[in-house]
Amino acid sequence: MNKKPKLTTTGGAPIADNQNSLTAGPRGPVLLQDYQLIEKLAHQNRERIAERVVHAKGWGAYGTLKIEKDISKYTKANVLQPGTQTEMIARFSTVAGEAGAADAERDVRGFALKFYTAEGNWDLVGNNTPVFFIRDPYKFPDFIHTQKRNPRSNLRSTTAMWDFWSLSPESLHQITILFSDRGLPVGVRNINGYGSHTFSLINAKNERFWVKFHFKTLQGHKHWTNEEGEQIVGKTRESTQEDLFYAIENGDFPKWNFQVQVMPESDADQTPYNPFDLTKVWPHSDYPCIDVGTLELNRNPENYFAEIEQAAFSPSNIVPGIGFSPDKMLQARIFAYPDAHRHRLGTHYESLPVNAPKCPVHHYHKDGAMSFKPNGTTSDAYYEPNSFNGPIEQPDVAEPPLKISGDAARYDHREGNDDYSQPRALFNLFDEGQKARLFSNIAAAMQGVPENIVDRQLKHFELIDPDYASGVRAALDCS
């Protein structure tokens, strides 16, 4: 057997741990000094030009968010106050496929929203699932590589997918959703949207609450089977685009019920699960969904490229009253998304009309490629602090201190977290027909995967429920 080479940075330095981000304590937050994490994310953002590396195939439209309930005891954000109506734009997408991929494929759907508020843009970048495949951003480039083409064959590799998933048991919750009925929706009008990450709300008393954002479809859930999806792709590769575009053109505006789950800040130290773990949900029995308002899409773009393909969403865009959390994946995306936009669209991507805030913008950034607007300051006040009339900081919007603890180290993110209970609870919600389709869908996706990888994955299914493993095995034997 050949001796495996040492894993190193691009500078040749050996890497001790390629599984876990450097965090303050096991629950985070992530430290900026984790140059290995930043190197991986920054390199991934530059693996392609022009087309998005992830979520390349997309569809979008404009709309409004109407706030109909009062949650002001949790947040001072103007956009979330009762009676407020805010213009917004949405972009939906698949994760794995390229820009020319067919719409009716089994994949997670991106659910990205940009709200043009009076206090600046608020972006909520999520998916149609409340969880994700991984919980540590250090593994994100590796995971995405498994969804893309093998560099030798230039083909998608089911072996790569199942090899990674079988070595990453934290993916089981998302796998169970992906291969369930909801993994192949007929279109984006019939999916839920989730912020997925844990965020924070800050109220007028400067109190912090943890929050999960939910958008529940009012069109009902509709899905294709694998066989139906193949028939649709044989007729059109643009089924989702057609469905969304013509629904809006015909005045059949899709709507979602906007809800939040709210957790007192102190509860995070008492829950039996890590509430900042992207592979976990908050039980609704403990933190019920609270109705907030209605999201409606009611206008198609006039120019798809300028308004949808150049739309740039990032969780770094927050407004006073909405903040972050120690969620490791969220913290990495706060860096990675704007960095991807600067690479793909340019330094001044937020000056493009679709991305520009509707409120005044003042800052000390200057010049750079494709600078087509005046710098955000006067001619003399091009630095800060200054004695002239440049923009000044606003201490009143500062968030309350976020308590963190723990030594800086690369903590094993699987230790104490991979308990299989949440995917088990989801599996037990399925009726017999749903379970049978789950088994069949997984078996279809495992065709050609080496037996040792299949066996390793089945052992994880066994730990969820013996019926899960035996059902997939029986479907494999029949295929």
Contact between residue 417 and residue 277 where contact means Cβ atoms under 8 Å apart = yes
Contact between residue 162 and residue 457 where contact means Cβ atoms under 8 Å apart = yes
| Residue 289: Cβ-neighbour burial (10 angstroms; 0-12, 13-18, 19+) | middle
Marked catalytic residue, from 45, 55, 317, 355:
55
DSSP of 337-396: HHHHHHHHT-TTGGGSTTTS-SS---------TT--S--SS-SS--SSS-SSS-----GG
DSSP of 200-238: EEE-TT--EEEEEEEEEESS---B--HHHHHHHHHH-S-
Q: Could you give the CA distance from residue 104 to residue 420 in angstroms, rounded to a whole number?
A: 30
- CA 99 to centroid of chain Cα atoms: 18
What region does 448 belong to: left with phi over 0, alpha with psi -120 to 50, or beta? Answer: left
Residues 6+ apart with CB under 8 A from 477: none
Contact between residue 215 and residue 257 where contact means Cβ atoms under 8 Å apart = yes
| Residue 240: Cβ-neighbour burial (10 angstroms; 0-12, 13-18, 19+) | buried
Contact between residue 334 and residue 315 where contact means Cβ atoms under 8 Å apart = yes
Which DSSP symbol is given to 8? B
Contact between residue 161 and residue 151 where contact means Cβ atoms under 8 Å apart = no
Whose tokens are 């409340």? That residue is 130
Marked catalytic residue, from 20, 121, 127, 192:
127
Q: Could you give the CA distance from residue 282 to residue 381 in angstroms, rounded to a whole number?
A: 48
How many helices, marked H, and strands, marked E, lie in the chain? 12, 12
In 3D space, the residue among 52, 38, 71, 95 whose CA is nearest the CA of residue 261 turns out to be 71
Active site residue 55: yes
Whose tokens are 């009339």? That residue is 389
> Which residues are identified as catalytic?
55, 127
